């Protein structure tokens, strides 16, 4: 029987898989953030919703959580209150995203699969909000990017701004 070992797919490390996914999601995120209109930064669709500025800034900062996850063992909101970057226009927003993305990629590319195994804790003082492995937290960061990006898509739709496709063409990109 012939040797079929050449038919086996190359085994990717977890770090390589995460880097690939991060780059794929970054392409869509970049397009979505670039559509935020400068004159709508205070707009929100509902009184309980974030403003488009708050939402878009959070999306832009999320790749930076990769760095935080890999370089710390926890985030304690009681000791480190959340202070978002003050973004005032879409050029700043996209630049901030690119900065956070580059930082997250740099730290992730230098990490090893073994560094994804230790636990990382999210807390508010004594209240433990979650404990997960660093790898699980990084996957949660990716999920948060996708989740909030979808929210931003609804905001943009309500403002009648064409939405870029995420995993294929959007309705705005289709020829009906």
Which H or E run includes 74? strand 74-76
Return d(Cα 116, Cα 62) in angstroms, integer: 18
CA distances from 116 to 21, 44, 155 (A): 16, 37, 34
148 is in an annotated binding site: yes
CA distances from 36 to 56, 112, 170 (A): 8, 36, 17
Find the farthest-apart pair of alpha carbons in the chain and give their distance in angstroms, rounded: 69
**Tokens at 169, concatenated:** 């063409």
Of 94, 134, 90, 92, which is closest to residue 111 (Cα–Cα)?
134
107 is in an annotated binding site: no
Tell me how far the alpha carbon of residue 73 is from its chain's centroid. Answer: 20
Tell me how far the alpha carbon of residue 138 is from its chain's centroid. Answer: 9
User: Residues marked as binding?
Assistant: 58, 148
User: Residues marked as binding for a divalent metal cation?
Assistant: 58, 148
């Amino acid at each position: 029987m012939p040797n079929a070992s050449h038919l086996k797919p190359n085994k990717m490390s977890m770090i390589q898989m995460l880097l690939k996914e991060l780059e794929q999601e970054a392409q869509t995120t970049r397009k979505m953030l670039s559509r935020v209109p400068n004159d709508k930064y205070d707009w929100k669709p509902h009184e309980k919703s974030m403003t488009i500025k708050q939402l878009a800034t959070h999306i832009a900062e999320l790749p930076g959580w990769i760095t935080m996850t890999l370089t710390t063992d926890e985030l304690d909101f009681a000791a480190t209150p959340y202070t978002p970057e003050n973004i005032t226009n879409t050029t700043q927003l996209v630049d901030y995203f690119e900065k956070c993305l580059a930082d997250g990629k740099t730290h992730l590319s230098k990490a090893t699969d073994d560094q994804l195994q230790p636990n990382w804790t999210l807390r508010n003082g004594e209240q433990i909000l979650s404990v997960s492995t660093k790898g699980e937290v990084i996957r949660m960061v990716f999920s948060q990017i996708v989740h909030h990006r979808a929210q931003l898509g609804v905001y943009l739709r309500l403002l009648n701004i064409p939405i870029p496709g995420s995993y294929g063409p959007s309705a705005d990109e289709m020829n009906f």
